[in-house]
Every structure is written in C-alpha cells, then in structure tokens.
Amino acid sequence: MINISRTINKKTRGLEKVVSKEKTIMKITILCENVASDKGFLAECGFSIFIQTKDTNILFDTGYSDVYQHNAQKLGIDLNKTDFVVLSHYHDDHSGGLQFNDFKETKKLIIHPEILEKLPPEEAEKIKNDFEITSSKEPLEFTKDVFYLGEIPRQNDFEKGFHRGDKMLDDSALAIKTNQGVIVISGCSHSGICNICEYAKKITKQKLYAVIGGFHLFEGDKETIAKTIEYFQKEKPEFLYPMHCVDFPTLSKFHSVFGIKKVSSGEQINFDL
C-alpha cells in the first residue's frame, strides 16, 4: 500500500516520496482496479475508490462485484463510515458492486437521473430500496468543496463524448477544491477526460492540481491520445494517475512524458494540503 504523499520534481518530472503523516488531510484509496498491487488484494475490470477528506468519506464507484469490499476489509477501511456514495455512470464495472452492498444504515447516493433508467429493472429497484437518492444533471456541491459535476459539456473536437452509440450523458466525475487547485476524479471518462477537466476548472474556478481515474484511452485512437497528452502538457497538473480503462501502450506514453506511476487495487494516494 502506498502510504505516502507524492510530489513531482519540477526538473526531472520524476516522483519523489515525502512522508508527512501529520499534514495529510485527504486520502484516496484504490479499492478496485484492473490490476492488484500486491498479494491478497483482488482485481477485476472495474473501478472503485474511497475518498477520505477531513470532513467526509466518499465511496466513488463500486466496481463490478464485491471486490471493493474485500480490499476495503484487508486495508482496515470500514465502509459503514461512508457518508456519500457517488456513481460516475451506469456501466456495470462501476455500478455493479452496489448490488452487494451491506451497509448497516441507509446511505446517500449521488447519481445522474439516467442511471436508474439504464440499469436492469431489478438492479434499479434494489438501489431505490437501499439508498437515499439525489439525482442531478447540474453540478452539485453535495459536501463542502466537493462537487458532483453532472452532465459534462462536450467542448473539444478530439474526444468522442459517447460510447457505442450512447451519448453517455450520465458519465460524470468529481471535482474537489483544495488550496493547491482542483482534484478531478473520473470513473471512465466516456465524456472525455479533457472535457471533464475543463468543466471542473469552470465549476470550481481553480487550476488543475491532480487528475485521477479512468481516462478511456486506447492505443488505436492515436489522435485522441496525442491531443490529450498535449492538453495535460499545457495545463501542467502536478499529479496524473490514469488507470482502469487505459491500455498499457497508452500508460507507457504517459510515463514517458509525465513520469506517472501506475496505481492499482490496494494502493493509497495521500495529499498533503
């Protein structure tokens, strides 16, 4: 488990480790990802993270199955202390784990209204019964400095903004305001990771500080990859953590340009803010 903060060396763009337990006020733990970080942790083609700020605990996406619960237990994370559950979009590798939830009390769930319409009826019904649901197409500050972005405007001409013919209006993300800039957390970025980042900047009125999650970039789409890299070179976020729906050739390109480290199930990113 990564139990350290990371800063980017401005000269080498490499990653330096800085242990600073007292200052850490935000922890982001990868509960489910395509690759496991160490023995004992489970992986699946899915995504789930647990966000701990000084005020709130947020479960963002739940993977495909109960893998997120297994890994949380191994890490000593009590998911019953979750304050909010947020879904990035309806696909089962992000929403399926909700069917396995064993929360002891009703939790607040933040979603786009189309999600329940797109899920199989029996799954949607269980979610309605198990959660206190807030649905929104508009940006929503559901707890201090944490925004659910709602529908993402498609602004650029190089990100498709849809998936297999679906406009994916339900594909959203989180934006967290910090004193260093905005932390963007995406699920799959079907709406386009650059579109998401631009909207997060607009809503929070902050520069990019960190971008974490699925970027939905694959080797066959060379133009989108190249322009996405150009975008981040221009924006210069201090931290980039692409994962989940990013293939290895693309991760390699990001490593060559930005010196990124791939993070996986069971690992933790701590931010000293």
Whole-number pLDDT of residue 22: 53
The pLDDT profile of the chain, 273 residues, written as one tens digit per residue, is 434 333 323 333 333 333 344 565 899 999 999 999 999 999 999 999 999 998 899 999 999 999 999 999 999 999 999 999 999 999 999 999 999 999 999 999 999 999 999 999 999 999 999 999 999 999 999 999 999 999 999 999 999 887 888 899 999 999 999 999 999 999 999 999 999 999 999 999 999 999 999 999 999 999 999 999 999 999 999 999 999 999 999 999 999 999 999 999 999 999 988
The domain containing residue 140 runs over which residues? 5-272
Helix (H, G, I), strand (E, B) or coil at 258: helix
Domain count, the chain: 1
- Tell me, what's the pLDDT at 23? 62
Tell me what pLDDT residue 9 has: 31
CA angle at residue 208 from 62 to 163, to 5 degrees? 45
- Tallying the residues shown for the chain, one arrives at 273
Find all residues with CB under 8 Å of 28, minimum gap 6, and list them.
49, 50, 51, 52, 185, 212, 268, 269, 270, 271
* Radius of gyration of the chain measured on its C-alpha atoms: 17
CATH number at residue 258: 3.60.15.10
Distance CA 209, CA 237 (A): 5
Tell me the C-alpha distance between 21 and 5, whole Å: 8
Q: Is 136 exposed, middle or buried, given 0-12, 13-18 or 19+ CB atoms closer than 10 A?
A: middle
CA distances from 115 to 18, 30, 169, 195, 272 (A): 40, 23, 9, 20, 34
